[in-house]
Amino acid sequence: MVQHHGIHNLEVKQKKLKINITNKNDIIQIIGPPSTKSKFDNDIFIYIERKTSSSKLSKLGKKVLIKNNVLILDINEKGILVSKKFYNKDDMQNINFDEKITLTDHSKRSFIYNFLYSLRQRIDDPRGQKRQK
């Protein structure tokens, strides 16, 4: 049994898109609405195609990945396709992720903590006489 999620035949449809020629309306007409949209400086349309199949009984029905395609389209403010990147299942294996870990520094006090601390000091010593000694 094959299960298909996302845009069917994404690899074939993406070949019809021409950089600096195809506009946003053409993209929606050819491929359909995007799976995900993002907006930074330009519009970014993300299309996903995923096809899985149930494996043989010997593997206890574990799903086997047949297709895992992702298409990322960058569209400028005029609605014209600026760049397209297509990733298939094999390309996903070659993506390197950064191994660095971001550590948080808990030694620094937050703004709220400092504000409440100074407020408490003013309540305890409104005239500031304790600080002058």
Question: How far, in whole angstroms, is CA 100 from its chain's centroid?
Answer: 19
Within-domain flag for 9: yes
Within-domain flag for 122: no
DSSP-derived pairing of the beta strands 43-54 and 2-6: antiparallel
Q: How many other CB atoms are found less than 10 A from the CB of residue 73?
A: 24
pLDDT of residue 130: 62
Within-domain flag for 98: no
- State the CATH number of the domain containing residue 26: 3.30.1450
Q: pTM for the full model?
A: 0.64
Structurally, how many domains does the chain consist of? 1
Q: Where are the beta strands (DSSP E) in the chain?
A: 2-6, 36-39, 43-54, 63-75, 81-87
pLDDT of residue 107: 57
Within-domain flag for 22: yes
Within-domain flag for 44: yes
Three-class DSSP category at 95: coil
pLDDT of residue 55: 66
Cα separation of 90 and 67, whole Å? Answer: 10
Within-domain flag for 110: no
Within-domain flag for 101: no
Within-domain flag for 8: yes
What secondary structure letter does DSSP report for 15? Answer: T
Could you list the pLDDT tens digit for every one of the 133 residues in the chain? 778 888 899 999 999 999 999 999 999 999 999 988 887 667 899 999 988 887 666 566 678 888 889 999 999 989 999 999 998 887 766 666 667 776 666 555 666 777 777 777 777 776 666 655 5
User: What are the C-alpha distances in Å from 55 to residues 64, 65, 92, 122?
Assistant: 6, 10, 22, 70
Residue 28 structural domain: 1-93
DSSP 32-68: -S-SEEEESSSEEEEEEEEEEEE--GGGTT-EEEEEE
